């Protein structure tokens, strides 16, 4: 049950009572001159694309620049957090955010690179089992990556790539459809590769159930968590997934092009899976003996190639520390309320203009609502431009969808109301 009301007083009271409200002050909120409150803060709903900058990031990056200036190469061993083991400072926070063991996660590279590295290990096609199963309408990187891997192994995507069509309205793919596809093609499927949250519709997938189904058919399972990490509570270890990859610039607020990450389930930690190797994946105890024989660090860190980019890890370290302080259960609780409020506003106040395409069931979605503009593309673009001009930042997905993601670390109930008010104001300008 909820007590939502479409009034400024109600939204202000809810914001004042929010136990996480002070986290907003830890972010730089992009300004907008037309916003009427004193701070002129814009209304930022784009955490699904690029999360905002935590204020502490500047000092964290400057500190590493200073160490570099003062210590040169010695910075690898000196300073508050010596660079040699810097990535390890992120490990525990990352693991707890993902519901993983510490040796199952590593912050490294970017999403697309990690996806390819993981497929080197986990997509091992044979003549009898050459196929990859993905969703139709997968994010282009995922589509390109799986297709190029199939070709790389000498197979033909025309016959070895299954793109599962949505079977529910609005592009939603049911677990039952995945189950049917596995029942029909499972014995030929090498890898099932699905998102944690679908980027276009905002649909959340049930990782554990999908993994169990796919494993029953002998397939390996990987998840693209770009839109799930920092958005939904995850229990990756318990899900049993073989691997997962993610980027850190969305809900994780790691900054543009931030260092991504990979999860490799513990049962593969010491296995002899093929992998592409680099010196930073070598056992750290003997790495500097510089021997010719690659002896991997057990666990996900054994998949590292290069020494990590410290200036890029510093923001991520700050961000993960904020997630630790806020706690994912509290963030999710607020997220359910915030997104629930936005959905209620759309359905109760704006139903003649907008339609939510993201699943109604909160268990099947995270923060994001994908909102279709009923009047179509031209009106949708005009509305989107109106919102941007009034400092309300979401993003546009062709042909007629605006994605709005209330992010519990820095969004407010008042922001959701500002969105609804701006849509109504735009509608008045058309009459
Ligand atoms: C689902 C999904 N996969 C992959 C990517 C691309 O990741 P990157 O450019 O960091 O490799 C994105 C980026 O938005 C995404 O949303």
Whether residue 78 is predicted with pLDDT greater than 90 in this model: the reply is yes
The pLDDT confidence band at residue 2, using thresholds 50, 70 and 90, is confident
Q: For a substitution probing ligand 1, which of 47, 226, 261 has the most ligand atoms within 8 Å of its CB?
A: 226
Across the range 38-42, mean pLDDT stands at: 78
Across the range 138-144, mean pLDDT stands at: 98
Q: Which two tokens stand for residue 37?
A: 């409150």
The ligand 1 atom at the shortest distance from the C-alpha of residue 257 is 10
Say how many CA atoms lie within 13 Å of 178 toward its Cβ.
Answer: 28
**Per-residue confidence (pLDDT) for residue 215, from 0 to 100:** 98
Q: Are strands 189-195 and 131-135 parallel, antiparallel or unpaired?
A: parallel
**Per-residue confidence (pLDDT) for residue 36, from 0 to 100:** 61
Q: Bridge partners of 222?
A: 193, 243
Task: Round to whole Å and give the CA distance between 112 and 182.
Answer: 26
Q: For a pLDDT cut of 90, what percent of the chain falls above it? A: 96
Q: Which two tokens stand for residue 326?
A: 């806020």
In this structure, the residues whose C-beta lies within 6 A of any atom of ligand 1 are 110-112, 139, 141-142, 195, 199, 224, 226-227, 247, 260
Whether residue 39 is predicted with pLDDT greater than 70 in this model: the reply is no
Helices (H), 240-298: none
**Per-residue confidence (pLDDT) for residue 271, from 0 to 100:** 73
Q: How far is the CA of 126 from the centre of ligand 1 (A)?
A: 28
Q: For a pLDDT cut of 70, what percent of the chain falls above it? A: 98
Q: Who wins on pLDDT, 123 or 36?
A: 123
Whether residue 311 is predicted with pLDDT greater than 80 in this model: the reply is yes
The pLDDT confidence band at residue 148, using thresholds 50, 70 and 90, is very high
Q: Most distant CA pair in the chain: distance in Å?
A: 75
Handedness of CA 80, 85, 87, 91 (dihedral sign): negative
Task: Round to whole Å and give the CA distance between 82 and 366.
Answer: 36
**Per-residue confidence (pLDDT) for residue 275, from 0 to 100:** 95
The pLDDT confidence band at residue 37, using thresholds 50, 70 and 90, is low
The pLDDT confidence band at residue 232, using thresholds 50, 70 and 90, is very high
**Per-residue confidence (pLDDT) for residue 33, from 0 to 100:** 73
Across the range 321-336, mean pLDDT stands at: 98
Whether residue 269 is predicted with pLDDT greater than 90 in this model: the reply is no
**Per-residue confidence (pLDDT) for residue 198, from 0 to 100:** 98
Q: Which fold has domain 8-55+327-430?
A: 3.90.1150
Q: How far is the CA of 260 from the centre of ligand 1 (A)?
A: 10
**Per-residue confidence (pLDDT) for residue 214, from 0 to 100:** 98
The ligand 1 atom at the shortest distance from the C-alpha of residue 250 is 14
Across the range 352-369, mean pLDDT stands at: 97
Whether residue 38 is predicted with pLDDT greater than 70 in this model: the reply is no
Task: Round to whole Å and give the CA distance between 416 and 406.
Answer: 7
**Per-residue confidence (pLDDT) for residue 129, from 0 to 100:** 98
Handedness of CA 169, 172, 174, 178 (dihedral sign): positive
Q: How far is the CA of 142 from the centre of ligand 1 (A)?
A: 8
Closest CA to 268 of 287, 242, 297: 242
Task: Round to whole Å and give the CA distance between 137 and 166.
Answer: 9
Range name among 5-19, 205-219, 284-298 with the lowest pLDDT average: 284-298
| One CATH from 3.40.630.30, 3.40.720.10, 3.40.50.300, 3.40.640.10 for 86-324 | 3.40.640.10
Q: For a substitution probing ligand 1, which of 111, 116, 204 has the most ligand atoms within 8 Å of its CB?
A: 111
Closest residue by Cα to atom 5, ligand 1, is 141
In this predicted model, what pLDDT tens digit does every residue of 340-360 receive, in sequence order?
999 999 999 999 999 999 999
Whether residue 82 is predicted with pLDDT greater than 70 in this model: the reply is yes
The pLDDT confidence band at residue 425, using thresholds 50, 70 and 90, is very high
Closest residue by Cα to atom 10, ligand 1, is 111
Mean pLDDT, the chain, integer = 96
Q: How far is the CA of 48 from the centre of ligand 1 (A)?
A: 11
Q: Looking at the whole model, is its pTM more than 0.85?
A: yes
Across the range 308-336, mean pLDDT stands at: 98
Whether residue 431 is predicted with pLDDT greater than 80 in this model: the reply is no
Q: How far is the CA of 193 from the centre of ligand 1 (A)?
A: 14
Among left, alpha and beta (phi > 0; psi -120 to 50; other), residue 120 is: alpha
Across the range 187-200, mean pLDDT stands at: 98
- The DSSP secondary structure of 368-380, one letter per residue, reads -EEEEETT-HHHH
Range name among 201-215, 246-260, 262-276, 379-393 with the lowest pLDDT average: 262-276
Domain boundaries, the chain: 8-55+327-430, 86-324
Across the range 193-203, mean pLDDT stands at: 98
């Amino acid at each position: 049950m909820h007590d939502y009301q479409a009034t400024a007083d109600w939204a202000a009271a809810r914001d004042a009572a929010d136990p996480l409200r002070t986290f907003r002050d830890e972010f730089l909120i992009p300004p907008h001159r037309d916003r009427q409150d004193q701070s002129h803060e814009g209304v930022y709903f784009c955490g699904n694309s690029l999360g905002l900058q935590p204020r502490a990031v500047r000092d964290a990056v400057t500190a590493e620049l200073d160490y570099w200036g003062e210590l040169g190469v010695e910075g690898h061993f000196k300073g508050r957090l010596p660079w040699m083991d810097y990535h390890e400072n992120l490990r525990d926070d990352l693991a707890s955010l993902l519901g993983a063991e510490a040796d199952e996660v590593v912050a490294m590279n970017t999403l697309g690179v990690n996806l390819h590295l993981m497929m080197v290990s986990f997509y091992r096609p044979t003549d009898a089992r050459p196929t990859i199963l993905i969703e139709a309408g997968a994010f282009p990187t995922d589509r390109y990556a799986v297709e190029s891997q199939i070709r790389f192994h000498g197979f033909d995507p025309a016959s070895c790539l299954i793109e599962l069509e949505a079977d529910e309205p609005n592009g939603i793919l049911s677990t039952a459809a995945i189950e049917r596809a596995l029942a029909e093609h499972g014995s030929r499927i090498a890898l099932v590769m699905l998102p944690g949250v679908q980027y276009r519709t905002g649909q959340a997938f049930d990782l554990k159930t999908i993994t169990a189904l796919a494993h029953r058919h002998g397939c390996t399972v990987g998840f693209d968590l770009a839109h799930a990490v920092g958005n939904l509570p995850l229990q990756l270890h318990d899900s049993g997934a073989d691997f997962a990859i993610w980027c850190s610039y969305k809900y994780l607020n790691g900054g543009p092009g931030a260092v991504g990450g990979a999860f490799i389930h513990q049962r593969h930690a010491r296995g002899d899976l093929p992998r592409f190797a680099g010196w930073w994946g070598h056992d750290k105890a003997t790495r500097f003996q510089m021997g010719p024989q690659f002896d991997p660090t057990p666990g996900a860190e054994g998949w590292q190639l290069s020494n990590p980019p410290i200036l890029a890890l510093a923001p991520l370290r700050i961000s993960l520390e904020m997630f630790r302080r806020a706690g994912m259960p509290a963030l999710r609780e607020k997220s359910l309320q915030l997104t629930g409020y936005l959905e209620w506003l759309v359905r109760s106040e704006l139903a003649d203009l907008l339609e939510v395409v993201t699943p109604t069931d909160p268990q099947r979605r995270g923060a994001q609502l994908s909102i279709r503009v009923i009047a179509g593309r031209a009106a949708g673009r005009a509305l989107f431009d109106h919102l941007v001009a009034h400092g309300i930042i979401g993003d546009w997905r062709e042909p007629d969808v605006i994605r709005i993601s209330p992010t519990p670390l820095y969004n407010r109930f008042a922001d959701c109301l500002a969105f609804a008010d701006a849509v109504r104001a735009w509608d008045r300008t058309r009459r």
